[in-house]
Structure 1
């Protein structure tokens, strides 16, 4: 991670309070978004001793976030959202029994679409073994697709990119064949895209994460950004935008997950600052005011 540029020092961290889910944790949240005139956050909800999670939609009530009445509950991890052509696109990681290894789990990205939360229907399931599949509408009407293969192609997990003409043309084969953004990660690291912002000049601002293990086998996750030209797939250097110490102290799901900040989403405020929404140590959710990391690419 050394040598990567950091943005201006982060300030003002705050824990988000969630109620109405029993004693389960809420973490790896999205940034807030509008649905039917309400401000909503989607969060990963799960017991401290389990990986079996649900994605619940929350609205704020007297300083606490409570489940949105009547909203669907999705059997997913790590939610994400965007809007394409007026439709809400929601997705996350779906886990299921590994087809070959007894007692092990496999995962893939499941994506829903609908005019609003209440109308969401599953419309696409990504390749087996691939998390962090992300879609964005492009200024020319096409769809930008960020992939994250692992294994023979992608190693521990690298980011790929391609374009397709519409949501209906999305295929598993095209995702698997997407070229990688070569040289973005060293072999010991992995990462993925979390949220895509179309910048005022048509470039794509990518909020993502980069991760590694240390010598003790502990995980380290860092929020990062980079910018990509959708026409040429040329991309900027990665820039770390926060570290665990920028946030408030708190619990961890396990000892090896203490230094984990999972980028959920970023809200650009138009005044040179932005609010980063993140899962912390796989146990809670916080937000952090930072310098808008994409502003320099628009000037």
Structure 2
């Protein structure tokens, strides 16, 4: 079944219990999108967000925001400014790891990009500690039950397309500690089969250890489509699957959200009108989950959905 077919099935049966556009304060003149998942520290909730002007591209900063109301977030005064795109976090031991994409320019044009990683016990002052492989986004970490760290990679390009048919793959490997996280280790992570179809791409956005020992994945899955005028549209969908780190089997891959699930709004460009770039989920007391996502590359949204890993275990 193609991803388009999966999307059609999802749209026919989807259950969205609540939806909202997030509001960001103290960043007038800038959009905030492609956020991290919210996290708690000292009884307060925070998230990192990509901050960028609507008319600019690949000129982003990552800033820290504190929750100050329902779906309302306010810039934390004096917090660090990171020259990154699309932040994400992992909780490893007593440390927060924040990663994002650093874009490098040459002669006024994008030359390449890398994943940069920062760590620390004090989330207001994280320190850079390693860089991922050249031109690789969507590298994600998860702490396993034995204290080791699962690492998900996301190679993408012509070589991947030529060998596998899909534009990207997802790899997985295990390291003993953060000091072992290097570009070489990430690059050599063995691939997981059966996730993307021909011409599709995507990756892991947030990984969660389940009490079954498996890993719950919240990610994005993408394909190209055409709008009514024949222009190309890049479709980004929120998706989930379950990964067994022992058997290396991926199961229960399914769409959990699309741009139509969130309130209507603008997009940065015409070809991103159908873009929902996943952040991750936060479980709720009622058993459901709040799914956070960037939308249209200029806003961030939240929808409430059924718990996506039902039957596979609960988040640890």
1:17-166 paired onto structure 2 within 5 Å: 17-51=23-57, 52-63=59-70, 64-97=72-105, 103-151=109-157, 153-155=159-161, 156-166=167-177
1:178 matched to 2:189? The reply is yes
> Residue in 1 aligned with 2:164?
none
Runs of at least 5 residues in structure 1 that lack an aligned partner in the other structure: none
Tell me if structure 1 keeps the 8 A contact 2:79–2:125: no
Partners of 2:74 and 2:299 in 1: how far apart?
15
Q: What is the number of equivalent residue pairs in this alignment? A: 297
1:196-207 paired onto structure 2 within 5 Å: 196-207=207-218
Secondary structure at the counterpart of residue 186 of structure 2: helix
With normalisation by structure 1, the TM-score equals 0.94
Report Cα offsets for 1:231-258 as digits up to 9, x if no partner.
2211114210011111100011011100
Report Cα offsets for 1:103-128 as digits up to 9, x if no partner.
23411111110002123100111001
Secondary structure at the counterpart of residue 13 of structure 1: strand
Change (3 A) 1:85 1:153: farther
Report Cα offsets for 1:123-164 as digits up to 9, x if no partner.
111001000000111101111000001225533222111111
With normalisation by structure 2, the TM-score equals 0.89
Secondary structure at the counterpart of residue 174 of structure 1: helix
Secondary structure at the counterpart of residue 311 of structure 2: helix
Secondary structure at the counterpart of residue 173 of structure 1: helix
Structure 1 position 8, deviation (Å): 5.0
Partners of 1:134 and 1:153 in 2: how far apart?
22
1:134-283 paired onto structure 2 within 5 Å: 134-151=140-157, 153-155=159-161, 156-215=167-226, 216-283=231-298
Partners of 1:20 and 1:31 in 2: how far apart?
20
Partners of 1:92 and 1:45 in 2: how far apart?
12
Tell me if structure 2 keeps the 8 A contact 1:36–1:116: no
Change (3 A) 1:145 1:139: same
1:15 matched to 2:21? The reply is yes
- When structure 1 is superposed on structure 2, of 120-129 and 145-154 the one drifting more is 145-154
Partners of 1:128 and 1:112 in 2: how far apart?
17
Partners of 2:45 and 2:310 in 1: how far apart?
24
- When structure 1 is superposed on structure 2, of 137-146 and 214-223 the one drifting more is 214-223
Runs of at least 5 residues in structure 2 that lack an aligned partner in the other structure: 162-166
Partners of 1:236 and 1:162 in 2: how far apart?
18
Tell me if structure 2 keeps the 8 A contact 1:11–1:246: no
